[in-house]
Amino acid sequence: MNSNYIRLWDVLEQMDSLDNEGKPVRFHLKYVTADHDKGTGGDIIELKDARKCVGKTREGEPKFFKQKVISLDDKVSRNPNHWLHSTRNMLLPNGQIRKVHIRLIIEFNHKKVCY
């Protein structure tokens, strides 16, 4: 495969990986927006220095699944069914969390995503 392309499976593996300090790796991605119910979308959104996360704790701190075991007191309030809906939460440098549909990712670390 051309080095300008990356498979979605490899994107998901890299999103799940940890750095040398045991924290989720940072990455750059672009995706297309889409809202089937509202009939809107088509905008290209670019996320720089993002990391995959589970959500936020009650104190507002980001939670990362592989960084630690989530205790019963630290559970996500509602199951987002990421596997069923093909979505992932992305933590931005400003602390905001964006939900991204993985099949709408068009670029990862400056490589075009193929399926």
Per-residue pLDDT of the chain in tens (115 residues, 90 and over written 9): 578 999 999 999 999 999 998 888 999 999 999 988 898 999 999 999 999 987 666 666 666 665 444 444 444 455 555 555 688 999 999 989 899 999 999 999 999 999 8
Taking the C-alpha atoms of residue 108 and residue 43, their distance in angstroms, rounded to an integer, is 17
Look up residue 81 and give its two tokens. 């069914």
Q: What is the pLDDT of residue 68?
A: 42
Strands 111-114, 105-108: pairing is antiparallel
Could you tell me which of 19, 91, 82 has the C-alpha nearest to residue 49?
91
Q: What is the pTM of this model?
A: 0.76
Look up the domain containing 43 and give its range. 5-114
Residues 6+ apart with CB under 8 A from 93: 48, 49, 50
Q: What is the pLDDT of residue 86?
A: 85
Q: What is the pLDDT of residue 13?
A: 95
Q: What is the pLDDT of residue 53?
A: 85
Q: What's the structural domain count of the chain? A: 1
Could you tell me which of 39, 48, 23, 35 has the C-alpha nearest to residue 101?
35
Taking the C-alpha atoms of residue 11 and residue 102, their distance in angstroms, rounded to an integer, is 9
Taking the C-alpha atoms of residue 100 and residue 51, their distance in angstroms, rounded to an integer, is 12
Q: What is the pLDDT of residue 57?
A: 61
Could you tell me which of 8, 13, 40, 7 has the C-alpha nearest to residue 25?
13
